[in-house]
Amino acid sequence: MSSGQPFATALADLLGRIEHARAAAVQPAPSTTLVAVSKTHPAERILPILDAGHRVFAESRVQEARVKWGPLLSAYRGVELHLIGPLQTNKVRDAVRLFDVIESLDRPKLAEALKEEFSSHDRQPDLFIQVNTGNEPQKAGVAIQDVPDFISFCRDHLALPVRGLMCIPPLNQPAAPHFALLQKLAREARLPLLSMGMSGDFEAAIKFGATHVRIGSALFGARDA
Ligand SMILES: *Cc1c(COP(=O)(O)O)cnc(C)c1O
């Protein structure tokens, strides 16, 4: 595994599949960005993707991202890093320093902590609100019925830069109804961005207007952890 060629080829294949799905969709989003989910994968696997010109990546954990991406961000210009995992309020400072987009805004306390942190920074990452479209008790995300109020709290009351919605559908259900629901909620709130679709279901997400697909294993292979 010394050569990065397989990863560069996987990237080209994946971008082709995304284009295909967009071409087949009746009403795709104006653009669909591949967010390459590099969590658990070492820098050696990320480098070939960077060298192939890709710049949008996501990580689940602040600490892992800081250690891994510190050197990569110094070496490569124009990287856009997304946080897609749960964010503890005591990690907000580190997260705001490192990430360009935080996709896991899911509770008032976190919204207030972000607001507070933004006031002492030039940096202000774009935000997605995570919606628990399956209303699963163990899963992060705002409950469906609370979404309009929470958007209004974040965007109108706190003036946070909320750009879109994000969801992770339940594992054991067809994903399409969840994508349809997220699209409807975003439309009603006039939010332009939709982060939905992973390795197994991004083509369906594109049908429902995904602007961002978060793809890990289809690009980097299976995760050990
Ligand atoms: C890990 C992860 C992904 C990527 O999942 P794959 O199935 O490997 O593509 C996408 N979104 C979130 C929130 C994740 O935690």
Q: CA 136, CA 173: separation in Å to the nearest integer?
A: 12
Q: CA 79, CA 76: separation in Å to the nearest integer?
A: 7
Ligand 1 in contact with 167 (CB < 6 A)? no
Q: Which DSSP string corresponds to 4-70?
A: -HHHHHHHHHHHHHHHHHHHH-SS--S--EEEEE-TT--HHHHHHHHHTT--EEEES-HHHHHHHHH
pLDDT at position 141 = 98
Question: Of the residues 214, 215, 220, 224, which should be mutated to test ligand 1's pocket, given the most ligand atoms within 8 Å of the CB?
Answer: 214
Q: Of all atoms in ligand 1, which is nearest to the CA of residue 202? A: 9
Cα torsion angle, 70, 72, 74, 77, sign: negative
Ligand 1 in contact with 40 (CB < 6 A)? no
pLDDT at position 1 = 45
* pTM of structure: 0.96
**Per-residue pLDDT tens over the stretch 6-35:** 888 999 999 999 999 999 999 999 999 999
Protein residue closest via CA to atom 6 of ligand 1:
216
CA of 152 to the centre of ligand 1 (A): 28
**Per-residue pLDDT tens over the stretch 177-194:** 999 999 999 999 999 999
Q: Does domain 5-220 have CATH number 1.10.10.10?
A: no
Q: Which residues of the chain have pLDDT under 70?
A: 1-4, 225
CA of 25 to the centre of ligand 1 (A): 22
> Quick one: which H or E segment has residue 98?
helix 92-98
pLDDT at position 120 = 87
> Quick one: which H or E segment has residue 177?
helix 176-188
DSSP SS3 for 192: coil
Q: What angle do CA 205, 15, 53 make, to 5 degrees?
A: 130
Structure tokens at 195: 């982060």
Q: Of all atoms in ligand 1, which is nearest to the CA of residue 218? A: 9
Q: CA 77, CA 143: separation in Å to the nearest integer?
A: 37
Q: CA 131, CA 169: separation in Å to the nearest integer?
A: 9
The residue extents of the domains of the chain are 5-220
Protein residue closest via CA to atom 10 of ligand 1:
214
Q: CA 45, CA 23: separation in Å to the nearest integer?
A: 30
CA of 190 to the centre of ligand 1 (A): 26
DSSP SS3 for 220: helix
